[in-house]
């Protein structure tokens, strides 16, 4: 039986690991990090004037650059600095294509699950034949939030396929589901709650009408903390696979 993930140890390691190896992480991840910051700032200041099609291009570019960052970070945590350089971290390969395909696949499963749950709730409300209940289901943010939980749970159970892909292993979704058994809600904390807390802390620093420098600093801080979130997933995968191999 797999033991519960040591969340405190994982979260502490996700913060301290990159910090203790700041020079290595900074050199390896500089290109994708700076690119993500540049894309985010460009979108922030120009999104109101950009054509709709260009907005989709931004989403595509962001996904590609994020994949470069995530793969490099996973490899730094799980394999070590010898396998990652700034050149390899900024060079697209078949490994990145597989990673992006898995990311899209499990994101699609999450969104489809949320869609089904929301429509099921609306159908049940309609069967009750109560207009007030139906309006509550359609308009309530709490209902939408609760409907997202099943999708997030499935995403959390499946997302350990990402660090596996980053180090050229292909466990498959069935194997991944078995690997994360009894740790689903702990993984929800790693891939759902932790990113939300980090984003909330960054938003707390935001003020009305910030200067360009303040906005740039916040965007850089928010983007750099992606490394912590990715490292937390890497460490979770390491714990799960070590447990499975014992």
**pLDDT at residue 134, rounded to an integer:** 59
**pLDDT at residue 246, rounded to an integer:** 35
Angle of helix 212-224 relative to helix 226-245, nearest 10 degrees, comes to 0
SS3 168: coil
**pLDDT at residue 18, rounded to an integer:** 92
How far CA 41 is from CA of 66, 86, 212, in Å, comes to 15, 22, 9
Half-sphere exposure of residue 48, counting CA atoms within 13 Å on the CB side? Answer: 2
Tens of pLDDT, residue by residue, the chain (246 residues): 568 999 999 999 999 999 999 999 999 999 999 999 998 888 888 877 777 777 788 889 999 999 999 999 999 999 987 778 878 888 899 999 999 999 999 999 999 999 998 888 767 666 665 566 556 665 666 777 888 899 999 999 999 999 999 999 877 888 899 999 999 999 999 999 999 999 888 888 777 777 888 888 888 888 999 999 999 999 999 999 874 443
From the list 137, 111, 112, the residue with the least C-alpha distance to 124 is: 137
d(CA 221, CA 202): 8
Locate the domains of the chain by residue range.
7-99+163-245
d(CA 238, CA 163): 9
């Amino acid at each position: 039986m797999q033991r519960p993930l040591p969340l405190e140890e994982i979260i502490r390691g996700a913060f301290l690991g990159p910090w203790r190896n700041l020079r290595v992480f900074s050199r390896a991840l500089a290109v994708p990090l700076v690119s993500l910051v540049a894309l985010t700032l460009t979108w922030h200041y120009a999104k109101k004037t950009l054509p709709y099609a260009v907005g989709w291009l931004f989403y595509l570019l962001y996904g590609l650059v994020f994949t470069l960052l995530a793969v490099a970070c996973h490899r730094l945590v799980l394999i070590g600095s010898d396998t990652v350089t700034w050149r390899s971290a900024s060079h697209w390969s078949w490994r990145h294509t597989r990673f992006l395909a898995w990311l899209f696949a499990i994101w699609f499963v999450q969104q489809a699950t949320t869609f089904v749950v929301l429509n099921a709730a609306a159908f049940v409300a309609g069967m009750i034949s109560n207009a007030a209940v139906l309006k509550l289901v359609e308009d309530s943010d709490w209902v939408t939030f609760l409907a997202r939980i099943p999708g997030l749970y499935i995403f959390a159970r499946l997302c350990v396929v990402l660090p596996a892909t980053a180090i050229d292993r292909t466990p498959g979704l069935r194997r991944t589901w078995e690997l994360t058994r009894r740790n689903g809600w702990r993984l929800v904390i790693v891939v759902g709650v932790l990113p939300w807390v980090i984003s909330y802390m960054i938003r707390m620093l935001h003020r009305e009408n910030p200067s360009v420098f303040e906005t740039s600093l916040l965007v850089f801080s928010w983007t750099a903390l992606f490394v912590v979130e990715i490292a937390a997933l890497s460490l979770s995968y390491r714990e799960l696979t070590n447990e499975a191999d014992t």
